[in-house]
Structure 1
Amino acid sequence: MLQIKAKHQVVFVLLSCLICMDAMAQKRDKYEFYKDFPVYADKLLGQLTYPLAWGNSDIKDFIEWKSAARRKVFECMMTPPPEAKSYDVKVIGEEKREGYTARKLEFNLSDFYRVRAYVLIPDGEGPFPAVNLLHDHGAHLYIGKEKMIRPFDDDSLVLDDADKWVDNLYGGQYFGDYLAKNGYVVFSTDAPMWGERGRAEGVDRSKYDIIAGNMMMYGRNLSAFMTYDDIASTDFLATLPEVDPKRIGCAGCSMGAYRAWMLSALSDKISACAAVCWMITTDVQMTWKYGRKESGGFANCIPALRQYLDYPHIASIACPKPTLFISGTEDKLFKVPGVKKAFKIMHEVWDSQNAGGNLETELWPIPHSCGIEAQQRVLDFFNKKLK
């Protein structure tokens, strides 16, 4: 009897494997999607006219346009998380480092959730200029804020992972610690799904899009929550006694760069922004022509927003703030033709407001990264604009 049952189980497993293999190989002569795009992708792109962009919009007063464009972005971001009734800050760790002190805080970022963050405070007498440092995506969700600021020694697994990540993407130098050594209060916290805001079941990149889809079913947007949180965390940063609230910048690489220019466009508390390796136009990003497709999933997906504004149009809401963009000619994620088009659009906006000197756009012979030289360039930029 046991032998018969075992044979049945083997047969069932074999049949299941055959069905899966057959499903993977099934193709029809007619189809509507190719390489993860609809076959009518070019027609979709042709219908994106960006009617709310500066220069396309009927609104001719720049201040009025900025207000209308910002309202539209928030409208497309859908309902935000409710504001925290109080921050209720707890210092849960502190470590003296060379030239600054590292603190690990826990506080209410919204009325929905309590988060942890690192804050680096320079030695000396403040208040100091500050930077909200926004971590990257990298399809690596185990760490978030620890990509920006060296974690404490008491968590060897996290520290080992962070060291490897920083060696690979940041030239072996923690960006946040570097800025703190040079006189800046530096703040960094996890985006939703990263680090200590991840899944109880553990890291699984394939679950990100499922969770983002489930959030949509609640009428909320996970990518928008990331931006709402970046705005709220900047509001929190401005309350710290060591911080000069009139001298707060933001910076990041990759998804962190996207977060930075989005934050600068939508928060009046940001005075200067530096974005490394994230800027492009949709017509280059979302086509087969350049051999590259968007695979960040919901990390920068705001429903319907592309019907009104492209990426550089949104970033231009920050005009005339001092803003630095660095992109790489060897960056396989952001093709140079799209980067150049985006830079040109933004320069036209800053120039139209007699603020051309406040926008610096640079193409470097680098891959998708933010090495020591790029960090030095960002520091020099902040020294001029925030000090």
Structure 2
Amino acid sequence: MNTPHEPTRPSAIAGYEDWPGYVRNRPRHQAATAAAQDLADALGVPAAVTRPDVTVHWAETYDGVTTSQLSWQLGFGPRTTGWLVRPAGTSGPLPGVLALHCHGGNKFGGADRLVELPQSHPSAAAARAGHYDGLALATEVARAGFAVLAHDTFAWGSRRFDLSVPPWRTASALEARKSQWREDGVEPTDADLYNAAAGFHEDTVAKAAGLLGTSMAGMVAHDDLAALDILGSLPGVDPARLGCIGFSGGGGRSLTLAALSPEIKSYVVTCMMATFGSLLPAYLDAHSWLLQTPGLWKLGDWPELTATSGADGFLVQYALADQLFPEDGMREAHRILESIHLAGSYTGTFWPGGHVFTAEMQNEAISYLSRALGAGSPAVHHHSPLSTP
């Protein structure tokens, strides 16, 4: 019983109190190969529940695409929101692409940053402007002839933790941030407040995951595998032609998903490729727990983990002025990838500029997937990247 001097300690995993029971009672994800199983075990990926029922909330057609809001309930935590985007007037079967949102320091939102919606939250618009050259990636991919599913993953958007009463360590750090905002004359938005709290809280989530025998990346992979299963089951989607695409943290998710699922035939990793060694000592702090799972390096370097995938081919796009990766680490990763993959299965392109998925890079990525998966209307490629080394 609490005394007046002992305030109730808030939940450290509010909204996810059923998460420990779910993970502890689930078997591990069963991968198709021994190498993929090693990765699943290292990340601690729980086996997904039987394919959940999908609810369609609304569908609207505008600017040549039909967008539907979907939702489903996984075995724990809040309900997942996703959006299916496809060319208007098509019945399929179309190749399917899972569009994987970035980390971006924005957990208030999730996949909404990738989709043109009748009404977008300002945080989604800001994410598009800052990271995607103002474009809605999932909608752009759909316009090229794909059925695209973009979903909120574990800890983002509809799947975010409830930090309305933050745990004490997070609350203390958040108060310091609020004090700085007041000093600077900044009036934070609801998204600003949540994202600041979530940034501090990610360490707590990673600690909880480790205690449970999983990881932040493993739980994200769990949600992504479930979404891929849903995408392949949707009417008008060809389950034999599935791919995925992601920028930054979404690029890491793309690599991991392709390594864990033989259903992925082609994929794109943008601004998320370098050697682990190049991150030490100066770049380690630039990255989240999505990349830095304890013990992952024992399985091989980050580029070497692509050998686990059975995809027919993949594209990696590097930004030479990327603030999160040193150029020597990116170029070394490119050399490793060329050495371990057959000619034609790996494509690496180097682009000028910083950590942004530019319109030109998106055009290249969409054209790549169009050729690989047989979509009907490849995007126009406007500009060429810098030549590879």
Give the TM-score, by structure 2 length: 0.76
Q: Which of residues 231, 234, 237 is equivalent to 1:237?
A: 231
Mapping for residues 31-70 of structure 1, pairs under 5 Å: 67-70=33-36
Matched, 1:278 2:269: no
Q: Which residue type is aligned with residue 91 of structure 1?
A: V
Kindly indicate whether residue 224 of structure 2 is the aligned counterpart of residue 259 of structure 1.
no
Q: Structure 2: which 5+ residue stretches go unaligned?
A: 1-31, 165-193, 375-389
Choose 214-223 or 357-366, whichever is displaced more.
214-223
Aligned partner of 2:309: which letter? A
**Alpha-carbon spacing, 1:121–1:130, altered in 2? closer, same or farther (3 Å):** same
Measure the CA separation in 2 of the matches of 1:257 and 1:86.
25
2:324 is paired with a residue of what secondary structure?
coil
Residues 129/186 of structure 1: CA separation in 2 closer, same or farther (3 Å cut)? same
Three-state SS of the structure 2 residue aligned to 1:297 is coil
Instruction: Report the residue type matching 1:118 in the other structure.
Output: W
The secondary structure found in structure 2 opposite 1:379 is helix
Q: CA deviation at 1:221?
A: 1.7
Aligned counterpart, 2:244 = 250
Matched, 1:120 2:85: yes
Equivalent residue, structure 2, for 1:193: 155
Alpha-carbon distance in 2 for matches of 1:249, 1:173: 20
Report 1:1-387 matches (<5 A).
67-78=33-44, 80=46, 82-110=47-75, 114-123=79-88, 124-153=90-119, 158=121, 160-202=122-164, 203=194, 204=197, 205-288=199-282, 292-318=283-309, 321-350=312-341, 355-387=342-374
1:319 Cα deviation (Å)? 5.3
- Residue deviations 1:21-56, cap 9 Å, x none? xxxxxxxxxxxxxxxxxxxxxxxxxxxxxxxxxxxx
Q: How many Å separate the matches in 2 of 1:88 and 1:68? A: 31
How far apart are residue 97 of structure 1 and its match?
A: 1.7
Shift of 1:115: 1.0
One-letter code aligned to 1:183: G
**Letter of the structure 2 residue corresponding to residue 144 of structure 1:** G
Contact 2:265-2:310 within 8 A present in 1 as well: no
Distance apart, 1:126 and its partner CA: 0.5
Conserved? CA contact 1:279–1:342, under 8 Å: yes
Q: Is the 2:154–2:220 Cα contact (8 Å) retained in structure 1?
A: yes
Gaps of 5+ in 1: 1-65
Q: Report the residue type matching 2:345 in the other structure.
A: N
Q: Which moved more, 1:83-92 or 1:260-269?
A: 83-92
CA distance in 2, matches of 1:259, 1:248: 15
CA distance in 2, matches of 1:349, 1:366: 27
Provide the secondary structure at the position in 2 that maps to 1:257.
helix
Q: Deviations over 1:125-179 (max 9, x none)?
A: 30101110000011121111012112342xx5x2x22122211211111111111
Residues 103, 120 of structure 1: 8 Å contact kept: yes
For the residues of structure 2 that align with 1:356 and 1:112, how far apart are their CA atoms?
43
Q: CA distance change for structure 1 residues 320 and 151 in 2, over 3 Å: closer, same or farther?
A: closer
How high is the sequence identity, in percent, across the aligned residues? 25
